[in-house]
Amino acid sequence: MKRNPAYVKFTQWEHWPTLAYYLPLFPFFLWRSVKAGHPIFYTIANPAILFSGNGTESKFKTLDLLPESLKPKSFLFSQNDSIAELQKKILENDFDFPLIAKPDIGFRGYLVKKIDSMGALQNYLQHVKEDIIIQEFIPYENELGIFYHRIPGHKKGRITSVTIKKFIKVMGDGHLTLAELIQKDNRAFLYADLFQAIHHDKLGHVLNKGEKMTLSVIGNHSKGTQFINGNHLINEELENFTDKICQQVQGWYYGRLDVKYNSYEQLLKGEDFKIIEVNGIISEPTHIYDATHENASYFKALKSINSHWDIMATIARKLHRDQHIPYPSVLAYFKNMLWLRAHTRKLKKLNAMDF
C-alpha cells in the first residue's frame, strides 16, 4: 500500500505549518508588546541588522558582519548585473563548481540550490530575477544550528538550542531505481516531489549494493533535512567557542548560527568549519522539530519558542533603556512586512517550478 505524504504530515506535528506554532503564542507576544509600550519593540534586539532579522534583511550584509576567515567566499550578483559580469566575478573570486546560489532576501530555503555548472547557473539566474548570493560550496558533511544570545552589557552569552542536521541519504541494493528508493525511505518519500525535481535525470538509475546517495545538501527542514535535538552538546567548551565568534559581531545579540564543519572535535578547536548563515529574530530553536526525542512534544515546542521570545524581549528592552536605541516606525515596519509577504509568494511560486 502506497503511503500518503499529506496524511503523514497532517498527523505528525513536526510537519505542521508555521501558524500552528505561532498562533497559540500570539497572546503572549501581544502582552510583551503592551508591557514594553511599543508594538514592535523586539525589532531592535539586533541593531546591526534591518529590523533585527525579521526576514527582509540582506543575508549577504548580515553574513558580512563576520570576519572573513569564518565565512564562505561569496559575492552578490545583482539582478541588474550582466552574465559577463557574473563570469568576471567568478574568476575574480576563484570559484569552482559546484557552488550555492540563493536569494539575498529569502525564506524557508526557497530557491537555495546547489549549482553544478556555468550553464545551470545562467539558467537559474534567467528564472530568478532577484539579487542572488553566489557562495562557494562547503563540502563538510556535518552541520549544526547553534542558537545563541547575549544580554547587552554581559561579557558572556549562552547557547539555548543546538540542532544536528541530518541530510537524507538512500542506499542502493543493486535492484531498485533511485525513484523507488526515495519512495521506500521512511523520510524521503515525504519530499518525493522535491527530490524528483532535483534528481530528475537520475530517477531511473539503479544504485549499486551499498552505494549511498545524499538527496539534498541544503540544511533546511523544508528541503527534507532531519533536525535532531543536539542540546546534549551544550557545555562550557561549546559556549566559549561560540562566544569567541559572536563577540566579534557588533550589534548582534540574538539568533542562530548555521555552521558546517568537518568533525566536532576540530570544530571546538576552531578548525575546518564555516558559518554559512547568521539568522536574527525570525530564527527558531530548531531542536524542537526532533519529534523522535524522548522529551519532545508539540506543547514543549511551543514552550521553547515562547521562552526564546522572552529572551529576545529582555534584550530589546535593555538596549532601548541602557543604550537609548529608538524603536522603529510602526508604519515603516508594516510596509516592510507587506513587501515580504509579496516577495515570499513570488519565491514560493518560483521554487515550485522545474528549471
Is 334 in the same domain as 204? no
* Higher-pLDDT residue of 50, 224: 50
For 36, the grid coordinates are: 514594553
CA–CA dist 16, 221 (Å, integer): 12
- 104 part of a folded domain: no
| pLDDT tens-digit readout, 202-242 | 898 999 999 999 888 777 877 788 999 999 999 999 999 99
Is 246 in the same domain as 304? yes
- The confidence score (pLDDT) of residue 223 equals 76
- The confidence score (pLDDT) of residue 304 equals 97
All residues at 6 or more sequence positions from 285 whose CB lies less than 8 Å from its CB, including other chains: 147, 160, 161, 163, 256, 304, 305, 308
- The confidence score (pLDDT) of residue 239 equals 96
| pLDDT tens-digit readout, 95-142 | 999 999 999 998 888 899 999 999 999 999 999 999 999 999 999 989
For residue 1, pLDDT over 80 is answered with no
Number of domains in the chain: 2
- The confidence score (pLDDT) of residue 94 equals 87
Is 311 in the same domain as 203? no
Q: What CATH number did the domain enclosing 58 receive?
A: 3.30.470
Helix (H, G, I), strand (E, B) or coil at 114: strand
Helix (H) or strand (E) holding 322: helix 298-322
Q: How far, CA to CA in Å, does 77 sit from each of 54, 84, 101, 109?
A: 22, 11, 10, 18
- The confidence score (pLDDT) of residue 313 equals 97
- 57 part of a folded domain: yes
For residue 80, pLDDT over 60 is answered with yes
* Span 310-327, average pLDDT: 97
In one letter, which amino acid is 288?
I
Share of the chain above pLDDT 90, in %: 76
For residue 300, pLDDT over 50 is answered with yes
Is 291 in the same domain as 346? yes
C-alpha 263: how far from chain center: 20
- The confidence score (pLDDT) of residue 333 equals 95
Neighbours of 233 (CB within 10 A): 16
CA–CA dist 304, 301 (Å, integer): 5
For residue 84, pLDDT over 90 is answered with no
DSSP assignment of 30-75: HHHHHHHTSTTGGGGSSTTSGGGTSS-S-HHHHHTTS-GGGS--EE
Dihedral, CA of residue 106, residue 170, residue 200 and residue 343, to nearest 10: -10
- 129 part of a folded domain: no
Domain end call among 157, 188, 215: 215
CA–CA dist 249, 66 (Å, integer): 6
DSSP 174: S
* Span 248-277, average pLDDT: 94
Helix (H, G, I), strand (E, B) or coil at 351: helix
Q: How many helices (H) and strands (E) does the chain have?
A: 12, 11
The mean pLDDT of the chain is 92
CA–CA dist 206, 210 (Å, integer): 11
- The confidence score (pLDDT) of residue 72 equals 95
Is 313 in the same domain as 246? yes
CA–CA dist 211, 202 (Å, integer): 14
In one letter, which amino acid is 248?
Q
CA–CA dist 73, 93 (Å, integer): 7
- The confidence score (pLDDT) of residue 2 equals 62
* Higher-pLDDT residue of 320, 92: 320
Structure confidence at residue 70 as a pLDDT band (50, 70, 90) = very high
Domain end call among 215, 234, 249: 215
Cell 508591557 belongs to residue = 35
For residue 245, pLDDT over 70 is answered with yes
Nearest CA-CA partner of 260 in 243, 276, 244, 278: 276
- The confidence score (pLDDT) of residue 171 equals 92
Residue 199 sits in which domain range? 169-215
- The confidence score (pLDDT) of residue 278 equals 95
pTM over 0.85: yes
For residue 258, pLDDT over 90 is answered with yes
Is 143 in the same domain as 184? no
* Higher-pLDDT residue of 74, 351: 74
Is 153 in the same domain as 237? yes
Q: How far, CA to CA in Å, does 167 sit from each of 5, 57, 66, 221, 275?
A: 19, 27, 26, 10, 17
For 210, the grid coordinates are: 551499498
